[in-house]
Amino acid sequence: MGLVGNKSPQDGIRTVKAVKSCSFPRKSDLCIRIITWNMNGKVSYEDLVELVGKDRKFDLLIVGLQEAPKTNVAQFLQTASSPTHVLLGKAKLQSIQLYLFGPKNSQTLVKELKAERHSVGGFGGLIGRKKGAVAIRINYDDIKMVFIACHLSAHANKVDQRNEELRHISNSLLSRDKGTRDLTVWLGDLNYRIQDVSNRPVRSLIHNHLQSVLVSKDQLLQEAERGEIFKGYCEGTLGFKPTYKYNVGSSNYDTSNKVRVPAWTDRILYKIQDTENIKATLHSYDSMDQVNGSDHKPVKADLCLKWIHD
Protein backbone atom coordinates (compact mmCIF):
# COMPACT_ATOMS: atom_id res chain seq x y z
CA MET A 1 0.00 0.00 0.00
CA GLY A 2 3.02 2.28 0.01
CA LEU A 3 2.70 3.24 3.68
CA VAL A 4 3.92 0.27 5.66
CA GLY A 5 6.03 -2.77 4.94
CA ASN A 6 8.82 -5.00 6.12
CA LYS A 7 12.13 -3.48 7.15
CA SER A 8 14.56 -2.84 4.28
CA PRO A 9 17.64 -0.66 3.73
CA GLN A 10 15.43 1.86 1.92
CA ASP A 11 13.10 2.39 4.88
CA GLY A 12 12.77 5.78 6.48
CA ILE A 13 11.39 9.08 5.30
CA ARG A 14 13.60 10.93 2.82
CA THR A 15 14.21 14.43 4.16
CA VAL A 16 13.98 17.05 1.41
CA LYS A 17 15.42 20.52 1.73
CA ALA A 18 13.07 23.23 0.50
CA VAL A 19 14.44 25.34 -2.34
CA LYS A 20 13.10 28.85 -2.81
CA SER A 21 13.75 29.12 -6.54
CA CYS A 22 12.23 26.78 -9.11
CA SER A 23 14.75 24.26 -10.43
CA PHE A 24 12.85 23.62 -13.67
CA PRO A 25 14.01 25.34 -16.87
CA ARG A 26 10.37 26.00 -17.75
CA LYS A 27 7.29 26.66 -15.64
CA SER A 28 6.08 23.77 -13.48
CA ASP A 29 3.04 21.87 -14.70
CA LEU A 30 1.33 22.05 -11.30
CA CYS A 31 2.05 23.92 -8.07
CA ILE A 32 0.23 22.91 -4.90
CA ARG A 33 0.00 24.66 -1.55
CA ILE A 34 -0.81 22.24 1.29
CA ILE A 35 -1.86 23.42 4.76
CA THR A 36 -2.71 21.45 7.89
CA TRP A 37 -4.05 22.93 11.13
CA ASN A 38 -5.57 21.61 14.35
CA MET A 39 -8.03 24.40 15.16
CA ASN A 40 -8.77 23.40 18.78
CA GLY A 41 -12.52 23.82 18.15
CA LYS A 42 -12.39 27.54 17.42
CA VAL A 43 -12.40 29.66 14.27
CA SER A 44 -11.96 33.29 13.28
CA TYR A 45 -12.22 34.66 9.78
CA GLU A 46 -8.96 36.57 10.32
CA ASP A 47 -7.07 33.33 11.06
CA LEU A 48 -8.40 31.68 7.90
CA VAL A 49 -7.50 34.73 5.79
CA GLU A 50 -3.97 34.45 7.20
CA LEU A 51 -4.02 30.72 6.49
CA VAL A 52 -4.92 31.15 2.81
CA GLY A 53 -2.56 34.10 2.40
CA LYS A 54 -2.36 36.79 -0.27
CA ASP A 55 0.41 35.14 -2.30
CA ARG A 56 -1.55 33.02 -4.78
CA LYS A 57 1.21 31.63 -7.03
CA PHE A 58 -0.11 28.09 -6.54
CA ASP A 59 -2.61 26.24 -8.73
CA LEU A 60 -4.24 24.00 -6.13
CA LEU A 61 -4.81 24.82 -2.46
CA ILE A 62 -5.31 21.93 -0.03
CA VAL A 63 -6.49 22.75 3.50
CA GLY A 64 -6.76 19.95 6.05
CA LEU A 65 -8.28 20.76 9.45
CA GLN A 66 -8.56 18.85 12.69
CA GLU A 67 -10.79 19.74 15.65
CA ALA A 68 -12.62 22.12 13.33
CA PRO A 69 -15.76 23.75 14.77
CA LYS A 70 -19.14 22.83 13.33
CA THR A 71 -19.96 26.18 11.77
CA ASN A 72 -18.59 28.75 9.32
CA VAL A 73 -15.32 27.05 8.34
CA ALA A 74 -16.23 26.15 4.74
CA GLN A 75 -17.93 29.51 4.17
CA PHE A 76 -15.00 31.45 5.66
CA LEU A 77 -12.46 29.52 3.57
CA GLN A 78 -14.44 30.05 0.37
CA THR A 79 -14.73 33.77 1.07
CA ALA A 80 -11.01 34.08 1.89
CA SER A 81 -10.08 32.22 -1.33
CA SER A 82 -12.72 33.73 -3.61
CA PRO A 83 -10.65 36.44 -5.35
CA THR A 84 -8.58 33.81 -7.18
CA HIS A 85 -9.80 30.28 -6.32
CA VAL A 86 -12.99 28.22 -6.13
CA LEU A 87 -13.86 25.17 -4.05
CA LEU A 88 -13.46 22.00 -6.14
CA GLY A 89 -14.10 19.39 -3.45
CA LYS A 90 -14.41 18.70 0.27
CA ALA A 91 -14.47 15.71 2.64
CA LYS A 92 -15.59 15.66 6.28
CA LEU A 93 -15.56 13.27 9.22
CA GLN A 94 -16.98 15.36 12.04
CA SER A 95 -14.12 17.67 13.08
CA ILE A 96 -11.66 16.28 10.50
CA GLN A 97 -12.14 18.29 7.31
CA LEU A 98 -10.38 18.59 3.96
CA TYR A 99 -10.91 21.28 1.32
CA LEU A 100 -9.49 21.48 -2.20
CA PHE A 101 -9.48 24.75 -4.13
CA GLY A 102 -8.48 25.40 -7.73
CA PRO A 103 -8.10 28.52 -9.89
CA LYS A 104 -11.30 30.10 -11.16
CA ASN A 105 -12.55 28.39 -14.32
CA SER A 106 -10.38 25.33 -13.60
CA GLN A 107 -13.33 22.94 -13.25
CA THR A 108 -12.79 21.78 -16.84
CA LEU A 109 -9.39 20.35 -15.79
CA VAL A 110 -11.06 18.06 -13.22
CA LYS A 111 -11.73 14.69 -14.86
CA GLU A 112 -12.69 12.82 -11.72
CA LEU A 113 -13.03 13.71 -8.06
CA LYS A 114 -14.06 11.56 -5.12
CA ALA A 115 -14.29 12.20 -1.37
CA GLU A 116 -13.88 9.40 1.17
CA ARG A 117 -13.52 8.95 4.91
CA HIS A 118 -12.36 6.33 7.40
CA SER A 119 -12.93 6.35 11.15
CA VAL A 120 -10.54 4.59 13.52
CA GLY A 121 -13.03 4.70 16.39
CA GLY A 122 -13.19 6.62 19.62
CA PHE A 123 -13.78 10.27 20.26
CA GLY A 124 -10.45 11.16 21.88
CA GLY A 125 -12.36 12.02 25.04
CA LEU A 126 -14.17 14.87 23.28
CA ILE A 127 -17.60 14.43 21.75
CA GLY A 128 -17.55 15.24 18.04
CA ARG A 129 -13.75 15.05 17.71
CA LYS A 130 -13.35 11.62 16.22
CA LYS A 131 -9.98 10.20 15.15
CA GLY A 132 -9.57 8.95 11.60
CA ALA A 133 -9.06 10.39 8.14
CA VAL A 134 -10.74 11.91 5.12
CA ALA A 135 -9.46 11.82 1.57
CA ILE A 136 -9.95 13.56 -1.74
CA ARG A 137 -8.73 11.82 -4.89
CA ILE A 138 -8.63 13.86 -8.06
CA ASN A 139 -7.49 13.65 -11.67
CA TYR A 140 -6.49 17.23 -12.36
CA ASP A 141 -5.07 18.04 -15.78
CA ASP A 142 -4.16 14.34 -16.19
CA ILE A 143 -2.24 14.20 -12.87
CA LYS A 144 -3.80 11.65 -10.51
CA MET A 145 -3.53 12.62 -6.86
CA VAL A 146 -4.89 11.65 -3.48
CA PHE A 147 -4.79 13.88 -0.40
CA ILE A 148 -5.39 12.29 3.01
CA ALA A 149 -6.02 14.47 6.08
CA CYS A 150 -5.94 12.59 9.37
CA HIS A 151 -6.04 12.99 13.13
CA LEU A 152 -4.41 10.17 15.10
CA SER A 153 -4.43 9.20 18.77
CA ALA A 154 -2.68 11.48 21.23
CA HIS A 155 -0.03 11.02 23.96
CA ALA A 156 3.60 9.96 23.78
CA ASN A 157 2.98 6.33 24.78
CA LYS A 158 0.50 5.64 21.95
CA VAL A 159 3.12 5.11 19.21
CA ASP A 160 1.99 1.57 18.34
CA GLN A 161 -1.64 2.68 18.25
CA ARG A 162 -0.83 5.52 15.85
CA ASN A 163 1.10 3.11 13.62
CA GLU A 164 -1.90 0.77 13.59
CA GLU A 165 -4.30 3.60 12.79
CA LEU A 166 -2.13 4.58 9.83
CA ARG A 167 -2.24 0.98 8.58
CA HIS A 168 -6.05 0.87 8.82
CA ILE A 169 -6.42 4.20 7.04
CA SER A 170 -3.98 3.17 4.32
CA ASN A 171 -5.72 -0.18 3.77
CA SER A 172 -9.08 1.55 3.53
CA LEU A 173 -8.20 4.53 1.37
CA LEU A 174 -5.19 3.50 -0.74
CA SER A 175 -5.37 -0.22 -1.44
CA ARG A 176 -7.85 -0.07 -4.34
CA ASP A 177 -5.89 2.11 -6.73
CA LYS A 178 -2.36 1.02 -5.90
CA GLY A 179 0.08 2.00 -8.63
CA THR A 180 -2.29 4.35 -10.46
CA ARG A 181 -1.57 7.51 -8.44
CA ASP A 182 1.02 10.06 -9.47
CA LEU A 183 1.08 11.82 -6.08
CA THR A 184 0.00 10.80 -2.57
CA VAL A 185 -0.02 13.39 0.23
CA TRP A 186 -0.67 12.80 3.94
CA LEU A 187 -1.33 15.80 6.14
CA GLY A 188 -2.72 16.31 9.60
CA ASP A 189 -2.24 16.10 13.33
CA LEU A 190 -0.38 12.78 13.33
CA ASN A 191 0.32 13.27 17.05
CA TYR A 192 3.79 11.70 17.12
CA ARG A 193 5.85 13.17 19.96
CA ILE A 194 9.47 13.72 21.02
CA GLN A 195 10.86 10.54 22.58
CA ASP A 196 13.00 10.18 25.72
CA VAL A 197 13.62 13.88 26.36
CA SER A 198 11.86 15.60 29.25
CA ASN A 199 10.05 18.93 29.12
CA ARG A 200 12.71 21.30 30.44
CA PRO A 201 15.55 20.21 28.10
CA VAL A 202 13.17 20.28 25.11
CA ARG A 203 12.09 23.82 25.86
CA SER A 204 15.64 24.94 26.54
CA LEU A 205 16.84 23.66 23.17
CA ILE A 206 13.95 25.37 21.38
CA HIS A 207 14.55 28.63 23.27
CA ASN A 208 18.19 28.57 22.15
CA HIS A 209 17.21 27.83 18.52
CA LEU A 210 18.70 24.34 18.77
CA GLN A 211 15.52 22.38 18.01
CA SER A 212 17.39 20.55 15.23
CA VAL A 213 19.01 18.50 18.02
CA LEU A 214 15.55 17.08 18.77
CA VAL A 215 14.83 15.82 15.24
CA SER A 216 16.49 12.45 15.92
CA LYS A 217 14.08 12.03 18.87
CA ASP A 218 10.97 12.54 16.74
CA GLN A 219 8.75 9.45 16.99
CA LEU A 220 7.43 9.69 13.43
CA LEU A 221 10.93 9.68 11.91
CA GLN A 222 12.00 6.90 14.30
CA GLU A 223 9.04 4.68 13.36
CA ALA A 224 9.64 5.30 9.64
CA GLU A 225 13.31 4.40 10.08
CA ARG A 226 12.21 1.10 11.67
CA GLY A 227 10.12 0.40 8.56
CA GLU A 228 6.81 0.67 10.40
CA ILE A 229 5.25 3.62 8.54
CA PHE A 230 5.55 5.90 5.49
CA LYS A 231 7.85 3.72 3.42
CA GLY A 232 9.15 5.69 0.42
CA TYR A 233 7.69 9.03 1.50
CA CYS A 234 9.38 12.43 1.56
CA GLU A 235 9.12 15.27 4.07
CA GLY A 236 10.69 18.67 4.25
CA THR A 237 13.36 19.44 6.84
CA LEU A 238 11.96 20.10 10.33
CA GLY A 239 13.59 23.51 10.45
CA PHE A 240 10.69 25.13 12.30
CA LYS A 241 9.82 24.98 16.00
CA PRO A 242 7.53 22.19 17.27
CA THR A 243 3.94 23.17 16.51
CA TYR A 244 2.32 21.86 19.72
CA LYS A 245 1.36 22.83 22.42
CA TYR A 246 0.91 26.60 22.70
CA ASN A 247 -1.11 28.86 24.94
CA VAL A 248 -4.06 29.92 22.78
CA GLY A 249 -3.64 33.46 21.52
CA SER A 250 0.14 33.48 21.81
CA SER A 251 3.40 31.97 20.62
CA ASN A 252 4.30 30.76 24.12
CA TYR A 253 4.41 27.05 24.87
CA ASP A 254 1.87 25.53 27.25
CA THR A 255 1.89 26.92 30.80
CA SER A 256 -1.28 25.14 31.94
CA ASN A 257 -1.19 22.46 34.63
CA LYS A 258 -0.68 19.87 31.87
CA VAL A 259 2.58 21.55 30.72
CA ARG A 260 2.76 19.44 27.53
CA VAL A 261 6.16 18.68 26.04
CA PRO A 262 6.45 20.52 22.69
CA ALA A 263 6.32 18.25 19.63
CA TRP A 264 6.06 18.26 15.83
CA THR A 265 2.57 16.76 15.83
CA ASP A 266 1.47 18.50 12.62
CA ARG A 267 3.06 17.14 9.44
CA ILE A 268 2.87 16.96 5.65
CA LEU A 269 4.42 14.02 3.76
CA TYR A 270 4.31 13.14 0.08
CA LYS A 271 5.21 10.38 -2.34
CA ILE A 272 5.73 10.51 -6.12
CA GLN A 273 4.82 7.15 -7.65
CA ASP A 274 6.67 7.48 -10.96
CA THR A 275 9.87 9.37 -10.21
CA GLU A 276 11.17 8.73 -13.72
CA ASN A 277 8.42 10.79 -15.33
CA ILE A 278 7.36 13.23 -12.62
CA LYS A 279 9.81 15.43 -10.74
CA ALA A 280 8.85 17.30 -7.57
CA THR A 281 10.37 20.37 -5.98
CA LEU A 282 9.53 21.39 -2.42
CA HIS A 283 9.61 25.19 -2.26
CA SER A 284 8.68 25.62 1.41
CA TYR A 285 7.91 23.60 4.53
CA ASP A 286 7.25 25.75 7.56
CA SER A 287 4.97 26.56 10.45
CA MET A 288 2.77 29.67 10.40
CA ASP A 289 3.76 31.16 13.75
CA GLN A 290 1.70 34.31 13.24
CA VAL A 291 -1.58 32.34 13.54
CA ASN A 292 -2.43 32.26 17.26
CA GLY A 293 -6.05 31.07 17.42
CA SER A 294 -5.27 27.49 18.50
CA ASP A 295 -2.91 25.51 20.72
CA HIS A 296 -1.33 24.23 17.46
CA LYS A 297 0.45 26.24 14.78
CA PRO A 298 -0.54 25.54 11.16
CA VAL A 299 2.03 23.92 8.85
CA LYS A 300 2.37 24.83 5.16
CA ALA A 301 4.15 23.14 2.25
CA ASP A 302 4.53 24.36 -1.34
CA LEU A 303 5.11 21.51 -3.79
CA CYS A 304 5.59 21.86 -7.55
CA LEU A 305 5.38 18.99 -10.06
CA LYS A 306 6.65 18.70 -13.61
CA TRP A 307 6.28 15.97 -16.21
CA ILE A 308 9.65 14.92 -17.59
CA HIS A 309 9.14 14.06 -21.26
CA ASP A 310 11.64 12.30 -23.49
Mean pLDDT of the chain: 90
Residue 23's pLDDT is 55
Phi-psi region of 175 (alpha: psi -120 to 50; beta: other; left: phi over 0): alpha
144 beta partners: 139
Of the candidates 172, 189, 50, which has an alpha carbon nearest to the alpha carbon of residue 129? 189
User: Which of 9-13, 218-222, 277-281: highest mean pLDDT?
Assistant: 218-222
Task: Determine which helix (DSSP H) or strand (DSSP E) holds 73, and give its type and residue range.
Answer: helix 73-81
pLDDT of the residue at 56: 87
pLDDT digits (tens, 9 = 90+) for 221-255: 999 999 999 999 999 999 999 999 999 999 999 99
Q: Does the pLDDT at position 26 exceed 70?
A: no
Mean pLDDT of 90-105: 96
pLDDT of residue 22: 61
Whether 118 contacts 176, CB under 8 Å: no
- The model's pLDDT over 116-137, given as tens digits with 9 standing for 90+, comes to 999 986 544 444 457 999 999 9
Q: Where do the domains of the chain lie, and which CATH numbers do they carry?
A: 14-193+231-307 (3.60.10.10)
pLDDT digits (tens, 9 = 90+) for 252-267: 999 999 889 999 999 9
Q: CA dist 153 to 149, 228, 264, 272, 280, Å?
A: 14, 16, 14, 27, 31
Q: What is the pLDDT of residue 120?
A: 87
Burial class (CB in 10 A: 0-12, 13-18, 19+), 137: buried
Q: Give mean pLDDT, residues 204-219.
A: 95
Q: How far apart are CA 18 and CA 52, in angstroms?
A: 20
> Is the confidence at residue 160, as pLDDT, over 60?
yes
